[in-house]
């Protein structure tokens, strides 16, 4: 059975000289976030450093999206 390699640059987007963590908002939550993606600066222009930093940021974004999925009536958290 073959294993697939994951994309090491998944969730990264470079704008100008700065890398951002970018997470797709599930379609069911777009009406609450009014966005299709959430992007947060990783405050670095170094790709290797961005790949190290993205994990914590992506984790926070996904946790907030999960919270929103469970209780959408509570509104958005400032993280989004």
pLDDT in tens, 32-65: 889 999 999 999 999 999 999 999 999 999 999 9
pLDDT of residue 78: 52
- CA 54, CA 41: separation in Å to the nearest integer? 9
Cα-flanking dihedrals φ and ψ of residue 15, to 5°? -125, 120
- CA 57, CA 17: separation in Å to the nearest integer? 19
Contact 44, 20 (CB under 8 A): no
Contacts (Cβ under 8 Å, ≥6 apart) of 80: 33, 35, 38, 61, 64, 65, 68
pLDDT of residue 32: 87
What is the reported pTM?
0.81
pLDDT of residue 77: 52
Residue extents of the structural domains in the chain? 12-71
Tokens of 23: 């997470």
């Amino acid at each position: 059975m073959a294993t697939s390699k994951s994309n090491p640059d998944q969730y990264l987007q470079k704008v100008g000289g700065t890398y951002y963590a970018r997470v797709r908002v599930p379609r069911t939550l777009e009406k609450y976030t009014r966005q299709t993606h959430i992007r947060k600066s990783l405050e670095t222009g170094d790709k290797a450093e961005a790949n190290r930093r993205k994990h914590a940021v992506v984790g926070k974004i996904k946790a907030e999206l999960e919270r929103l999925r469970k209780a959408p009536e509570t509104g958005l958290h400032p993280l989004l």
